[in-house]
Structure 1
């Protein structure tokens, strides 16, 4: 788990304020997707454009459509006020497509405690911070997982995602079938310890035409779906004919 905890406010300048940046330069969320290859995840079964996105994330633009499930909407309006103040996981309640600007920043891995850590900082059209996510990876029992920490006030939340391949798509999941379960899950780390949360998330990333990807992100709380995000991802400088 990451050793980096947040303060009352996170925000896009969190790493700079707390001197957590490094001089390392990264183009993507991972340096080489082949690090995740194993039985059940063969690179040749995944669209090359998807692999390129994860290795060269800075070369892509991103828009998102955020949809809270009807039962959760009253809570979403309360949550929006809190997330705006803290400047973290600030999804808002706006409907329709919205542009997200992103920047990849090197993180001091010695202070974080994980290897080759980089942050993906995303802001919305109003300049508000949506995510400050610290990306790394770890390997256990011959499986390499994406290990993504989000600093929260005096804590952090870590999503450990297992990559899988299906019909040319990349699937990242925090919950696998019982017989294949490993380290995946969503965890909260505080000064008193680390606890597994009753949350599940799943990404399905697929190619949607020349130089375009679509990613579906769904989340469940106690087994009940409460959030859907659809990302539209496009290579920068690509002009549709």
Structure 2
């Protein structure tokens, strides 16, 4: 009932969309059931007439150059930053999390009622939840020609194996945009949560990914409901990822999630090549 109620809410507050035509940029994987397993990976590969890959050095993007365009040049990225996105499976991570006291109760409620139950978007609520780090698996999704159209990134808490995220990562150009954005889709039952992140290169070859404020059809976060009639709504969630190499040569990422202008949660990742 909770899942059905949330879908009805987004249908009422969103807009009708044509995912086969004008809003094809919002076409993304969905889950067939309330429990988000790995079934959507095979469904997505079959939808494109392709297959899954088990490349042990797979990356979220086949090459960072797919994001090249006015204002972004992948060749300016620090080699380690670029290697992480092109060979993500070769890296392991340690994670630290810090919630805003204002949003912690709501985050805990959402985690208990939705995240842990459906095994999707289950943000860690306490520092000890991620004290042992996260395990991750990257699975390229290829089309009938063998080209990588997306990569599934599944992350689990190392301490208990509990799923945290399961998403499809790719490059996608929004209507009227001058260059591609990083597109992340998190499958949900009969729908998904999608985030479009605008990339830029910052000092030291760091990578900045942002989902700023804007209108429908611009970078940001969207909820999509796929039922008899498809609906989509832009939601006021804004993210910033800053991947950089620190003064000691360690690859790190700062991740901030905001609701409107209010900080909700901050995460910090320390990334090392897997032995």
TM-score category by the smaller chain? 0.7 to 0.9
Q: CA 1:71–1:109 in 2, change beyond 3 Å: closer, same or farther?
A: farther
CA offset at residue 198 of structure 1? 0.9
- Which of these residues, 192, 201, 216, is aligned with residue 156 of structure 1? 192
Q: Where do residues 59-138 of structure 1 align in structure 2 (5 Å cutoff)?
A: 59-81=90-112, 82-96=114-128, 97-107=131-141, 116-125=149-158, 126-138=160-172
Which whole-Å deviations, capped at 9, do the CAs of 1:147-182 have from their partners, x for residues lacking one? 110012321011101101110210000117x7xx97
SS in 2 for 1:117: strand
SS in 2 for 1:143: coil
- Which of these residues, 183, 198, 219, is aligned with residue 184 of structure 1? 219
Contact conserved, 2:59 with 2:84, CA < 8 A, in 1?
A: yes
Aligned equivalents of 1:182, 1:213: Cα separation in 2:
32
SS in 2 for 1:5: coil
Contact conserved, 2:53 with 2:140, CA < 8 A, in 1?
A: yes
Aligned equivalents of 1:157, 1:9: Cα separation in 2:
15
Q: CA 1:209–1:14 in 2, change beyond 3 Å: closer, same or farther?
A: farther
Of Structure 1 and Structure 2, which has the larger fraction of its residues in strand?
1
Runs of 4+ in 1 over 6 A off after TM superposition: none
* Residue 5 of structure 1: aligned partner: 30
Q: Which runs of 5+ in 2 are unaligned?
A: 1-25, 46-50
Contact conserved, 1:212 with 1:235, CA < 8 A, in 2?
A: no
Q: Where do residues 217-236 of structure 1 align in structure 2 (5 Å cutoff)?
A: 217-236=255-274
TM-score normalised by L of structure 1: 0.85
CA offset at residue 39 of structure 1? 2.9
- Which of these residues, 70, 73, 77, is aligned with residue 39 of structure 1? 70
Of Structure 1 and Structure 2, which has the larger fraction of its residues in helix?
2
Which whole-Å deviations, capped at 9, do the CAs of 1:26-53 have from their partners, x for residues lacking one? 5100011112122322234321110011
Question: Does 1:175 find its partner at 2:212?
Answer: yes
CA offset at residue 59 of structure 1? 0.6
Aligned equivalents of 1:46, 1:58: Cα separation in 2:
19
Contact conserved, 1:20 with 1:108, CA < 8 A, in 2?
A: no
Question: Aligned pairs, how many?
Answer: 229
Aligned equivalents of 1:209, 1:28: Cα separation in 2:
25
Q: CA 1:32–1:174 in 2, change beyond 3 Å: closer, same or farther?
A: same
CA offset at residue 144 of structure 1? 1.0
Q: Which runs of 5+ in 1 are unaligned?
A: none
SS in 1 for 2:102: helix
Contact conserved, 2:70 with 2:178, CA < 8 A, in 1?
A: no
Contact conserved, 2:103 with 2:264, CA < 8 A, in 1?
A: yes
